[in-house]
Chain A
Amino acid sequence: QVQLQESGPGLVKPSETLSLTCTVSGDSITSYYWTWIRQPPGKGLEYIGYIFYTGSTNYSPSLRSRVSISVDTSKNQFSLELSSLTAADTAIYYCARLVSKRYNWFDPWGQGTPVTVSS
């Protein structure tokens, strides 16, 4: 079955750029949409953005100025970059598959990777 695995640094300094990668196994990344979602400590889920394998993207309005999502079809991976980090970006970051814009549920999810923004 489809599995997603996030990877990246667990600690990043303020003002720097966070880079995370999600590796997809069991399915081709050239199907479906691929999404990043985060969850600050003790808080709810926040949509960050999604990408289609063609490179078409959609970002949350609140993060659009700082976020970039890219895809590498040769590695079956997609990546997140979030710039100008502050402590408010401390969260668990999840990648997930979005079936389509019409069938817009997230399934499955990766296990999540915790990111702390601190000097």
Chain B
Amino acid sequence: QSVLTQPPSASGTPGRGVTMSCSGSSSNIGSNTVHWYQQLPGAAPKLLIYTNDQRPSGVPGRFSGSKSGTSASLAISRLQSGDEADYYCAAWDDSLNGPVFGGGTKLTVL
């Protein structure tokens, strides 16, 4: 059981958009920033979004993040087949004094 809660799956069609959620508590998302990681099949995770809504260099503008209260969201617009991956949210947890992850959302592009 992960500290952060993510739906196990999401899907969308090419060219359309999809949003996935990440729910936490006051000790993690509620008081700290959220980061998102993309894990393509057979690869290591890669930083996708940091500090709620910032994109590292090289990450397309189709990916965006937001946070409100104890929840966060990752939105992907203009879906492509190459976006099929597992997406993980993460945040610092003040109670645990360490980082925590969500269980991951597997995105399928139909």
**Partner-B contacts on A (CB < 8 A):** 35, 44-47, 49-50, 58-61, 94, 98, 101, 103-112
Q: Is the CB of A105 within 8 A of B98?
A: no
Q: List 20 A-B contacts (CB under 8 A).
A: A35-B99, A44-B88, A44-B103, A44-B104, A45-B104, A58-B97, A59-B98, A60-B96, A61-B96, A101-B92, A104-B32, A104-B33, A104-B99, A105-B90, A106-B37, A106-B90, A106-B99, A107-B46, A107-B56, A110-B44
Q: Is the CB of A109 within 8 A of B44?
A: yes
Chain A residue numbers with a CB within 8 Å of B98 are: 47, 49-50, 58-60
Given A104-B92, A105-B51, A105-B90, decide whether A47 and B45 contact each other with a Cβ distance below 8 A.
Answer: no
A residues within 8 A CB of B91? 104
10 closest A-B pairs by CB = A107-B47, A105-B35, A105-B50, A44-B104, A109-B44, A44-B103, A45-B101, A104-B92, A112-B44, A47-B99
B: contact size bracket? 20 to 34
Q: Do A46 and B101 touch (CB < 8 A)?
A: yes
Pick the residue among A47, A109, A112 that contacts B101 (CB under 8 A).
Answer: A47
Contacting pair A44 B102 (CB below 8 A): yes
Q: Is B2 among interface residues, defined by CB-CB distance under 8 A?
A: yes
Contacts of B97 in A (CB 8 A): 58
Q: Does B100 contact A (CB under 8 A)?
A: yes
Which residues of B have CB within 8 Å of A98?
99
When distances are taken between beta carbons in the complex, the residues of chain B under 8 Å from A109 are: 44-46
Name the B residues within 8 Å of A60 (CB-CB): 96, 98
Q: How far is the CB of B101 from chain A (nearest CB, A)?
A: 5
A94 to B39 Cα, complex, angstroms? 13
Minimum distance in angstroms from B84 CB to a CB of chain A: 16
Which A residue's beta carbon lies closest to that of B46? A109
- Expressed in whole angstroms, the Cα–Cα distance for A112 and B47 within the complex equals 15
For the complex, give the distance between the alpha carbons of A44 and B45 in Å. Answer: 11
Q: A105 to chain B: which residues have CB within 8 Å?
A: 35, 47, 50-51, 90
A107 to B36, CA, bound (A): 11
